[in-house]
Amino acid sequence: MKPICILFIFSFMLMNCARQPALKYPDTAKVDHVDTCFGTAVPDPYRWLEDDRSEATAAWVEAENKVTFGYLERLPMREAIRECLTEIWNYPKQGVPSKYGSKYFFSKNDGLQNQSVLYVKDSLAGEPRVFIDPNTLSEDGTTRLGGISVSHDHRYVAYTLSSGGSDWREIRLKDIDGRDLPDVIQWVKFSSISWYGDGFYYSGYDAPKGSALSEQNQANKVYFHRLGTPQSADALVYSDPKNPLRYNLALTTDDERFLILSISAGTDGNTLAVRRLNAPNAAFTPITPARFDYEYNVVDNFGDAIYIHTNDNAPRYKLMRVTLRAGQPVWETVIPEGDDVLEWVSVAGGRLVAGYLHNACSQAFVFDRDGGSKTALSLPGIGSIGGLSSTKDGGEVFYSFSSYAVPSTIFRIADIHAPAPELYHETQLKITLSKYVTEQVWFTSKDSTRVPMFIVYKEGVPRNGKNPTLLYGYGGFNQSMTPGFSISNILFLESGGVYAVANLRGGGEFGSQWHKAGTRLQKQNVFDDFIAAAEYLIAEKYTSSEKLAIRGGSNGGLLVGACMTQRPELFKVALPAVGVMDMLRFHKFTVGWGWVDDYGSSEESEEQFRYLLGYSPLHNIRPGVRYPATLITTADHDDRVVPAHSFKFAATLQAAQAGSNPVLIRIETMSGHGSSSTQKAIEEYTDMWAFTFYNLGVKF
């Protein structure tokens, strides 16, 4: 590390020299609100905190932040951590290039810019120039650039902007030379931008009638926008008033032969219907069953054959192609299901690039369009492929690779027909990474299921049961936790910490069956896996309960909340971030209805209600229990997992806590389901590490 960080790490401070005074939490009012579900009374005394627009809620947020930041400001190592984290964070970060026509687009952050800048160059060796700099769009640096979509004739670029971390997006337009167009599309969320001729398809909502940040989002519609016209003139392409709680997504193929409609009722499973774009008024023809049993992900087309990545009767996924013959879909297998999970497929130069997961690590192979001529793509080690970029006709491919001790490295393949990866861009850090050990171990969960876990630590760290350890998990929505680089974690590892990531059921590491085993009435498996991971780390002398912290965000925040209420004695520190804490009401806010696929619903059946009530973090806090030192984090613009979850959890936990472990909630402003700027990210990680180090007794 650079001298500034060495100075901080080895300028040890005795932890007992700055004891925190006893905390006095805000007096949070209780209301006499009780819901009756299947004959069971469920009190909800902090229901009023769900109103994100009330003065009372704003006053409570201010009071809680005053207590939290008062505590954090007194931590002896906080400023040293901030200085060190800022120093090591300050390095250039570059994204994988994408080629459109002859131009290359890529993102880059010089180091501490709040937002990455989108650049364009006219050739691979050309001089980059700024195409969109979101840092110029707001004074506080929280306006973010989302994805871009370039028209098929390479004349126009559509892009999305978000404000303050919200999931709401605004679509704007430029021509390919960077000149702004007047078009503005509002109230867009989780949408594609799919070009056809001089316009594009997108998915949008009506403007909210109540709170834009908590009101349930209903009636998703597909529109077509023609360039140069106002949004009010956009043509309605598809809506389904009878089923307002669905996602409707429109996709066009690059040759503009097909318009494909994807409909889903949540996060797991969809249906597809197709319409030929040379007959725009024709009805959509369904090509999959009108159920949501499986996932069908459109890859691309070759002529009339549409290639689809699916788990239809293939839990580890396969690649199919479907062709309409006499109006009926005919399916053929291109790449059959194998022993490993077929995670994704991309098209490059008329060939297929397929990414697999083998024990939660990336592998990749190149096939011809019929699934033959399998060739392995060389990777530099155990890690994760990210951001693969290719074009259907061109043979050039870019992709990134990273691991726990390897920052994002970009490789280029000049011709996919003879794939020979060459280094295109290597990240240059301002620190020299020490030698790290990455192990993959397998532990046994409560029901005897074997579960893998990555464990990372600095070479020479002893197995003496005394190491500060952070256990991270997610376990949901078919998302896989694969090796990846975090500059923030380097701070912990360099301080002698052990970082562990458990590949819990509910994730996608081993396909649909692994995912389903951690959903609905089997969700407890996820928590049992995480608890077993913690017990393994203790039994194998990596750490002890007094040195163990747990962390997770979103569904991972639920994970932390459930585990700390089920086994409070097992952990010293709990860090639930933007968590789903009220399992009886999550579906009533924004797009929470889409999570019923994974969680079930308290309103669907008594069995589901009682199961959810049995683990819901909010409803399983018991007065007089000594819970871990807890730092709950959320943000005022989180409209995915609304902050009311964290508000009610914090108020309940503060009232119940026995002993001296602090229970704090840190509520960020102008931020959402994740930090909305580099500065806010550094501030949040500073406070997380300061809180964790202090309560684990780590010297810094």
Q: What is the pLDDT of residues 279-305, one digit of tens each?
A: 877 889 999 999 999 999 999 999 999
Question: Please, which residues have CB within 8 angstroms of residue 557's CB and are 6 or more apart in sequence?
Answer: 576, 577, 578, 579, 580, 581, 641, 645, 646
Q: What is the pLDDT of residues 309-336, one digit of tens each?
A: 999 999 999 999 999 998 899 999 999 9
- CA torsion sign, 579 to 584 to 589 to 593? positive
Q: Which of 601, 671, 673, 677 is catalytic?
A: 673
- Vertex 335, ends 190 and 249: CA angle to 5°? 15
Closest CA to 662 of 653, 675, 671: 653
Is 554 in the active site? yes
Is residue 4's pLDDT more than 50?
Answer: no
CATH number of the 65-88+437-696 domain: 3.40.50.1820
CATH class of 94-252: mainly beta
Report DSSP state, residue 657: B
Closest CA to 88 of 671, 551, 485: 485
Cα–Cα distance, 388 to 528 (Å, whole number): 35
For residue 699, the model assigns a pLDDT of 83
Pairing of strands 573-577, 629-635: parallel
Question: In three state form, how does the secondary structure of 59-84 look?
Answer: HHHHHHHHHHHHHHHCCCCHHHHHHH
Closest CA to 641 of 163, 248, 67, 165: 165
Provide the pLDDT confidence category of residue 10 given band limits of 50, 70 and 90: very low
> Is the separation of the CB atoms in 602 and 618 below 8 Å?
no
- CA torsion sign, 505 to 510 to 511 to 513? negative
For residue 1, the model assigns a pLDDT of 44
Question: In three state form, how does the secondary structure of 541-554 look?
Answer: CCCCHHHEEEEEEC
Report, as an integer, the average pLDDT of 93-115. Answer: 97
Q: What is the pLDDT of residues 413-454, one digit of tens each?
A: 999 999 999 999 999 998 888 899 999 999 999 999 999 999
Question: Which residue in this structure is represented by tokens 């399998």?
Answer: 374
Domain ranges of the chain: 65-88+437-696, 94-252
Q: What is the pLDDT of residues 492-542, one digit of tens each?
A: 999 999 999 999 999 999 999 999 999 999 999 999 999 999 999 999 999
- Vertex 624, ends 620 and 627: CA angle to 5°? 65
> Which alpha helices (H) appear in 138-191, and where do they start and end?
none
**Over the chain, what is the mean pLDDT?**
95
Residue 399, token pair as written in the block:
């992709």
Q: Which of 264, 554, 646, 677 is catalytic?
A: 554
For residue 11, the model assigns a pLDDT of 40
Is residue 6's pLDDT more than 50?
Answer: no
**Percentage above 90 pLDDT, the chain:** 94
Question: Please, which residues have CB within 8 angstroms of residue 237's CB and are 6 or more apart in sequence?
Answer: 201, 221, 222, 223, 224, 250
Same fold? 65-88+437-696, 94-252: no
